[in-house]
Amino acid sequence: MALKKFCRKPGCTKLTTTGYCEDHPPNTYDKQRGTAAERGYDHKWRKARVAYLQQHPLCKHCKDEGKLTAATVIDHIVPHRGDKRLFWDRKNWQPLCESCHNRKTATEDGGFGNGH
C-alpha cells in the first residue's frame, strides 16, 4: 500500500497516492487557460518587462523587509484574470523576486493553476 500525501493543489488538505485528489485532477486548468502568448505574455510584454525591471531592479517585498534582492518578475498586484486594461496598467505592477512572487501567488491568489 502506497503512502498517502497531501494533494498537490495549494491549500487542499485531502490525501492521495496519485499526487492530486479527485477534486483537483492535474492539468485541467492549464489546458483551459491557453498559452502564455494567448494570455498576453508575448513579445510586447517581454519588451515591457525588460524595461520595467531595468527601472525597478529590486524586489519590493524584500526591500520592504530591509533586504536587497534582484527583481526577476513583474507581479500584477491585482490579478488581471484576462482583463487587458488591468494587465497593462503599470500602477498594477510591482517588481518581485521569484521567491516572493511564488509566495504571493500561493497565499493571496490561491496558487498557480487556481482556476480563477
Q: Bridge partners of 95?
A: 74
Mean pLDDT of all residues in 34-56: 87
Q: What's the pTM value of the predicted model, to 2 decimals? A: 0.65
* Alpha carbons 93 and 97: distance in angstroms, whole number: 13
DSSP designation for 115: -
pLDDT, residue 33, reads 63
**Residue that wins the pLDDT comparison between 110 and 21:** 21
Closest CA to 49 of 6, 7, 94: 94
Q: What is the pLDDT of residues 62-90, one digit of tens each?
A: 999 999 999 999 999 998 888 899 999 99
Query: DSSP letter string over 75-103?
Result: EESS--TT-HHHHH-GGGEEEE-HHHHHH
Do strands 93-96 and 73-76 pair parallel, antiparallel, or not at all (unpaired)?
antiparallel
Name the least confident of 12-21, 24-33, 69-78, 93-102.
24-33
Every domain of the chain and the residues it spans: 1-32, 41-110
